[in-house]
Amino acid sequence: MVSAPLSLQTSRIRPAIQALQGDIVEWRRHLHQYPELGFKEEKTASFIAEKLTAWGIDHETGIATTGIVALIEGSGPGPTLAIRADIDALPVQEQNEVPYRSKHDGKMHACGHDGHTAIALATARYLSQHNDFPGRVKIIFQPAEEGPGGAKPMVEAGVLKNPDVDAIIGLHLWNNLPLGTVGVRSGPLMAAVELFDCIIQGKGGHGAMPHQTVDSILVASQIVTALQTIVARNVDPIDSAVVTVGSLHAGSTHNVIANKATFTGTTRYFDRKYEGVIRDRIEAIIKGCCDMQGATYSLNYWSLYPPTVNNPAMADLVRSVAEHVLETPAGVVPECQTMGGEDMSFFLQEVPGCYFFLGSANLNKGLSSPHHHPRFDFDETALGMGVEIFARCVEQFALK
């Protein structure tokens, strides 16, 4: 067992949770060694279910393929608070040289979901032994956050019903913030995620005879440049949005004008008033450039996740708890918005809630690689802090 670090022992974390720290680290490191991709988290789900069964915690498995929901009853009547943790990994080859390095080639917990799962397990363990709060807690272990998205299928499967969930919280270990800080704000925290694929069909020919062709590369290049006018000229400057073309492929050699070009990209925004607006502008630009040059196109555009929007009252609850747990209120960081996306957004569309960031970087330990990086890792001291924040949120929510 890994002993609790000194920084945890001296923080405002109750002794019963300090005593769990070694176990939480062990669970996290076990999960880290066996990462699984979305909707294929069989070993992960089995590990979670085994722990819940051993602790006598009621739970249901096989929800939206590999999801699990645990239910912990409090000491009397009261509201139902849900806690969500994502359990999937990424198709990344790990480059860390650590004893708990991934054993699954080409797969890695490169975003901290192993830590989220361990925190949720420890929260379940603690609350099942200290259920002196009114109401109940649902702990939702959700698959496939990284894609194609497990939150929506879990909502559709009824995880927010029977009993009805009154509010929901969740956290993300966050290497963009140092250990000992929490990023929390009301309103939009993370952006909508929309994706597009486009094929430009021109007419190929000899590179020395361009007048006989419709140059798909030229058309695609004009489109890529023109797409940047959307944010510059169609989005209110007070708002934020992103249009990114992430890939562009065409042609095969020096002296042949390509008859086809393909490109893919993503759009991001916080305000749902732009839902549909950016998509329409993208297609208008593509059509206009194609019409001008005599090319044709096909566009596939779809929404992955809506914006992640926090309820003000729930954000205030998390903020007040974080200020108590952290050594100073200055550790609460409201300037924490990101254009990254999260399917926690589907839960937050159904019930009020708060998603927040738990600082996990530690430059002194070399733990600062960004999320989705093959050397991503975090300071495990944050695990016990996450449990303490969740436990206090449960206790305070029941008193609201």
- For the stretch 293-336, pLDDT in tens is 999 999 999 999 999 999 999 999 999 999 999 977 789 999 99
In this structure, the number of other CB atoms found within 10 A of the CB of residue 279 comes to 17
Do 269 and 314 sit in the same domain of this protein? Answer: no
Among 36, 41, 88, 380, the active-site one is 88
Two structure tokens written together for 139 = 């702990």
Two structure tokens written together for 67 = 């999801």
In-domain check, residue 361: yes
List own/partner pairs for 46-50 with CB under 8 A and 24 or more apart: 48/87, 48/117, 48/121, 48/141
Do 21 and 145 sit in the same domain of this protein? Answer: yes
Report the candidate in 161, 153, 162 with the shortest Cα–Cα distance to residue 64.
153
Q: Which of 282, 305, 328 represents a domain boundary (last residue)?
A: 305
Looking at residue 330, its pLDDT comes to 80
Looking at residue 5, its pLDDT comes to 42
Among 41, 86, 145, 166, the active-site one is 145
Burial class of residue 320 (count of CB atoms within 10 Å of its CB; 0-12, 13-18, 19+): middle
Convert the pLDDT of each residue in 106-139 to its tens digit. 999 999 999 999 999 999 999 999 999 999 999 9
Is 104:32 a contact under the CB 8 Å cutoff?
no
Non-local CB neighbours of 304 within 8 Å, separated by 6+ positions: 147, 148, 149, 193, 194, 195, 341, 343
Calculated CA dihedral for residues 116, 316, 190, 172, nearest 10 degrees: -10
Domain around 357: 6-190+308-399
Looking at residue 44, its pLDDT comes to 98
In-domain check, residue 1: no
Do 130 and 108 sit in the same domain of this protein? Answer: yes
Do 169 and 196 sit in the same domain of this protein? Answer: no
Q: What is the pTM of this model?
A: 0.94
- Mean pLDDT for 351-364 is 98
> CA angle 313-137-37, nearest 5°?
95
Report the candidate in 349, 350, 358, 348 with the shortest Cα–Cα distance to residue 379.
358
Q: Decide if pLDDT at 3 tops 60.
A: no
Do 273 and 352 sit in the same domain of this protein? Answer: no
Say whether 145 is catalytic: yes
| pLDDT classification of 6: cutoffs 50, 70, 90 | very low
In-domain check, residue 40: yes
Say whether 342 is catalytic: no
Q: Which of 252, 273, 305 represents a domain boundary (last residue)?
A: 305
Q: What is the CATH number of the domain that holds 237?
A: 3.30.70.360
Element (H, E) at 30: helix 21-33
| pLDDT classification of 398: cutoffs 50, 70, 90 | confident
Which three-class secondary structure state does DSSP give residue 31?
Answer: helix
| pLDDT classification of 11: cutoffs 50, 70, 90 | low
Convert the pLDDT of each residue in 163-218 to its tens digit. 999 999 999 999 999 999 999 999 999 999 999 999 999 999 999 999 999 999 99
Q: Decide if pLDDT at 42 tops 90.
A: yes
Q: Tell me, what DSSP letter sits at residue 211?
A: G
How many domains in the chain? 2
Do 182 and 327 sit in the same domain of this protein? Answer: yes
Q: Which of 276, 305, 334 represents a domain boundary (last residue)?
A: 305
Q: What is the CATH number of the domain that holds 115?
A: 3.40.630.10
Report the candidate in 78, 74, 83, 55 with the shortest Cα–Cα distance to residue 131.
74
